[in-house]
Each structure stands twice: as C-alpha cells, then as structure tokens.
Structure 1
Amino acid sequence: MNSVTQTSPLKTTRSLAGKVALVTGSTSGIGLAVLEKLAAEGADVVMNGFGDPGSIEAIRSGLEQRYSVRVRYDGADMSKPEEIEAMVEAARRALGALDILVNNAGIQHVEPIERFPVEKWNAILAINLSAAFHTIRASLAGMKARGWGRIVNIASAHALIGSPFKSAYVAAKHGVLGLTKVAALEGAEHGVTANAICPGYVWTPLVEKQIEEQAAAHKIGKDQVVREVLLKNTPTRTFAEAGEIGALAAFLCGPHSGAITGTALPVDGGWTAH
C-alpha cells in the first residue's frame, strides 16, 4: 500500500515564500493589514512604526507564530534619512535581502493654505513623500542586481484628485504617484515593478477617531459625519477595509503581477470615477 505524505498548506501554497518584505508604518491600520497578508503568503517581514512596545512585540511574535515566518521590528523614524538607510541595511543583514518594499507611513494635517503651519507642511512632505524616495533609493540597486523586486506605494485617492484644506497631503501623494512611475520605468528591464495603491476612506482606528473629532467639532452625530462629510463623494457610501488594501498589495507583490507596473490603482468606492 502506498503511503501519502501530507504537508502543511503553509509550506506548499504560499506565493511569497523565501521573499523578504519591509512595510513602513505597519504597527496598525493599513500597514499592519499589508504586513499580515505578506506574512500569510510566506514572506519574512520587517515591521516599522511607532506604538506601545508591549503591543508591538505582541504583534511581532504573534505573526511569527501564526505564519511560521521571521518578523523583525525596526523603529526607524521615517522623517530621518539616515535612520531609513540603517533600517534597510539592518533588514539585509538580518534576513539576507530585501525583495519587497511597501511604503505606507504617513501623517495628515487639515487647514487652509493661508494658515497652514510651515512645520506641518515640512513634516508631511518628509514622511509621506521623501521617506518613500529614501527607502526606494536604498533598496532598488539590490532588487535590480537580483533581477526581481516589488515596490508598492500606498498613495491615496488624493494622488489623483484634490480636496480643500489638505495642501501638503495632496501635494505629497501626487508626488508619490510621480515617484512610482519613475521607479517603474527604471526597474522595468530588471524584473522590478512599482505601483501605487490609491485608497479612499479606509476603516481604521485613525478614521474612527476622526469621526469622533468631526462630530464634536460640527456638533452633529457620527452617522451624519460619515454620510455628509467623509463619504459624501464616495458612490458606494462604504469604507474600504484595511484587509482589501492588504490583499491587493500582496497580489502586486506576487508572481502573477510582473506586467503590472507604473500604475495607480484606486480602492475608493468610485470616488475618483466622478
């Protein structure tokens, strides 16, 4: 009688086994959803961002145990180029390479242009745009040398359209899309793709907090804030889920996406279809 050896699905079906990924701003929200999807597909991952050390360690160790991959945490400040470069080098030393880069770190400030604080403008451009340049700059040569790489920039619907009072954010996200196109062109003959995911409003703890703040500021109910403020221009009238962004990022990083490069992919409930 022939015996059949059963193997774990984790070891046989994961599309990113043997790859190493860095996801910036990945201790919560969209970034954490992306990190988890990449780990679920077998990639060793580097988590980056701020937060409570105990909570971060619980996430890190939980991902390792759940998906049988290596998970590192690096608290590099994404506004500091020298820390970004050191993070990329540390990932290489610890995990052997850097195959996948997902730029997700970002901050926001909302205020009319004439009152917009200069320090907020500088901080938003540093973290939302310049940080992506610095990570790509530190990673691209290695990807080219190995003949394979995936760069995914989490941009925004605001990489494609504008909104009042978000001058720095809109400028930065438009810049991220331009940077994505240049990286795609430079990597095209070396097996390296670069794409931008452009979410609309995504249900995260940050958005939940924003709803509460706007309800208090406008003295209206939370449902009214969602309907008349946040999702006013979203035809589906629904938030995207962080897991949807993670799943799309994982596909773009996988083996069946080699012809997709230089694109902006909205996940916005039809907002930019207007």
Structure 2
Amino acid sequence: MSDLTGKTALVTGSVQGIGLAVARSLAEAGARVAVHGLATPDQAASACAELEAAGAPEVRFFEGDLRDPAAIDAMMQAVADWGGADILVNNAGIQHTAPLADMPPETWDAILAINLSAAFHTMRVAMPEMAARGYGRVINIASVHGVVASKEKAPYCAAKFGLVGLSRVAALEYANQGSKQAGGVTVNCICPGWTETAIIEPQIQARAAAHGGDRDAGIAELLSEKQPSQRTSDPSEIGALALWLCAPIAHNVTGTSIPVDGGWTAQ
C-alpha cells in the first residue's frame, strides 16, 4: 500500500511545515519528489537533502511564483520534462488575519491567487496526463476553514471553501478514469485544524502576548475555543494521511474533505 516506487510527486510549498512533512512521507515510500517553495538556495538544498535521506530516489527543486499563471505553466512544463507528476499536492498557502473592512485588497488578491487559483492552474495541466496513465492523485491541503468560517479570515476562508469546491468538481470529472488495479485518478482535500506550523505562529504570539508572553498559554487558549481534543496535530500526521490516499486501495476515495481537527468541524 505504501510503495510509490516509480511515481513522481510534486508538492508545492514543500520546504517546510506540512508540505515538507507530506513530501517526506512520499519520499519514504519511494517516490521521486519535485520540491517547490519560497526558499533561499540553502533552504532548497536542505529540503532536497532531507528527502533524499528519507528514501526518495531523486529530488529536484522547481521554482515558480504561484501568483503568476505563466510562472506556474513554466514550472509544470519543467516537471513534465522531468517525467510528470503522478501525485500533485497543492499545499502552498499564505494567511493574513484582519477584519473584512481592514483587509488590504492586495492581500485578498495574493491569498486567493496562492491558496486557490494556483491549484486550478496545476490541476488543469497535470490531470489530463494522470488520466492518460490511469493513475493520479491530487491532494489539496485545504483547512477546517474550507468547511467552517472564522472571523478576520475572509480571503483565507474564501480560498479554502473554493478549493473544496474545485476539488469536488475535478473529482467528478475524473472519477471514471483508470481502474481499480491501476488505482484510478482521485482528488481529495485534507482539512487540518490547529497544526504546529509557521502559518499559525502570528496567532499564537498574539494570544501569548495577552498571557505575558507565555506561548503555551497562547496555544491552550486557541485550542480551547475551537479544537475539542485540545491537542495540536503534527505535520507528519498529515503526511501519513496523504500517503494512504496515494495507495491503489484508495481508488474510490475521491471528492472528499477529510478533517484532521480534533473534532472542530463536528461541533
């Protein structure tokens, strides 16, 4: 179930956090990994070295500004020239919290571009080739905020709700491609709740400031409001779920949005 030998995975935003954890899980299963993200040469090299050490037979870093459709097309062509993506993980994302009336329009545009439109552009290019091969996996890292809303996160919620809708449409369009034996072509969202990543650090620090700088107290306050388990997730847990979705046995798991949120969206 976990053997991805001969498969190639493109994971956007994979130099840190959830993206790197997903890439590591796929590397451990034997996939070649196309790494992408905003990174210095040293950061890119470090991520690639980590994935090679995890077991990927080949790793390469690909550049691409996800706000720019032409840059995405160029990146996807470069990945195609490298062999093409059997597995596409749209993970790259940015966040900014502010009341709707105070949200800068340019921030709205950037969050929608990176968190939603970029996934459309990568899927549009990658999925026909997946269908031709009879196997393909698109895993879009959405969020609980693709299922339920929160104040001061208008563009983020809009993008993640949109990503869930986009994924369902694509899942329907490709549902009958491939076979049970080959694994078919599936599209799913993973919807993490509070996960230990850099993207939530500003919110943690804001809460910590109200507790005299106590970071643990800030985390506890965040969790108490939303996540009934009162436990954060580790990025490796998202990676393990992504790996399972790549298995042929998951051929009929498509069009879903799977929460990893300690009961947040069950309320």
Q: Which residue of 2 aligns with 1:16?
A: 4
Cα distance in 2, alignment partners of residues 67 and 123 from structure 1: 35
Q: Which residue of 2 aligns with 1:39?
A: 27
Deviation readout 1:188-209 (Å, 9 max, x if unpaired):
1112100000000101234345
Deviation readout 1:73-132 (Å, 9 max, x if unpaired):
0121111111111111111212x2221100001000111111111011111000000000
Within a 5 Å distance, the mapping from 1:137-176 to structure 2 comes to 137-176=124-163
Cα distance in 1, alignment partners of residues 36 and 202 from structure 2: 22
Shift of the 231–49 alpha-carbon distance from structure 1 to 2, 3 Å rule, reads: farther
Paired residues, number: 261
Cα distance in 2, alignment partners of residues 206 and 177 from structure 1: 20
Q: Which residue of 1 aligns with 2:51?
A: 63
Aligned to 1:239, the other structure's residue is in SS state: coil
Q: Could you tell which deviates more after superposition, 220-229 or 263-272?
A: 220-229
Give the counterpart of 1:91 among 66, 79, 84: 79
Cα distance in 2, alignment partners of residues 242 and 14 from structure 1: 18
Q: Normalising by structure 2, what TM-score?
A: 0.93
Q: Which residue of 2 aligns with 1:234?
A: 227
In our comparison, the structure showing a higher alpha carbon Rg is 1
Cα distance in 1, alignment partners of residues 94 and 223 from structure 2: 17
Shift of the 68–171 alpha-carbon distance from structure 1 to 2, 3 Å rule, reads: closer
Q: Which residue of 2 aligns with 1:249?
A: 242
Q: Normalising by structure 1, what TM-score?
A: 0.91
Cα distance in 1, alignment partners of residues 210 and 109 from structure 2: 26
Deviation readout 1:14-67 (Å, 9 max, x if unpaired):
511101110001100000000010111111110000123112202212322441
Give the counterpart of 1:119 among 106, 110, 115: 106
Give the counterpart of 1:258 among 233, 236, 251: 251
Unaligned runs of 5+ in 1: 1-12
Q: Could you tell which deviates more after superposition, 201-210 or 22-31?
A: 201-210
* Letter matched to residue 190 of structure 2: I
Aligned to 1:153, the other structure's residue is in SS state: strand
Q: Could you tell which deviates more after superposition, 207-216 or 141-150?
A: 207-216
Cα distance in 2, alignment partners of residues 106 and 97 from structure 1: 23
Shift of the 203–68 alpha-carbon distance from structure 1 to 2, 3 Å rule, reads: closer
Q: Which residue of 2 aligns with 1:8?
A: none
Does the CA-based 8 Å contact 2:2-2:244 persist in structure 1?
no
Cα distance in 1, alignment partners of residues 186 and 238 from structure 2: 18
Does the CA-based 8 Å contact 1:63-1:69 persist in structure 2?
no
Q: Which residue of 2 aligns with 1:10?
A: none
Cα distance in 2, alignment partners of residues 76 and 32 from structure 1: 17
Aligned to 2:190, the other structure's residue is in SS state: strand
1:225 aligns with 2:218: yes
Shift of the 66–273 alpha-carbon distance from structure 1 to 2, 3 Å rule, reads: closer
* Letter matched to residue 16 of structure 1: L
* 4+ aligned runs moved over 4 Å, structure 1: 217-220
Q: Could you tell which deviates more after superposition, 142-151 or 198-207?
A: 198-207
Q: Could you tell which deviates more after superposition, 18-27 or 47-56?
A: 47-56
Aligned to 1:110, the other structure's residue is in SS state: coil
Backbone CA RMSD of aligned residues: 1.6
Q: Which residue of 2 aligns with 1:200?
A: 193
Post-superposition offset of 1:231: 4.2
Does the CA-based 8 Å contact 2:174-2:185 persist in structure 1?
yes
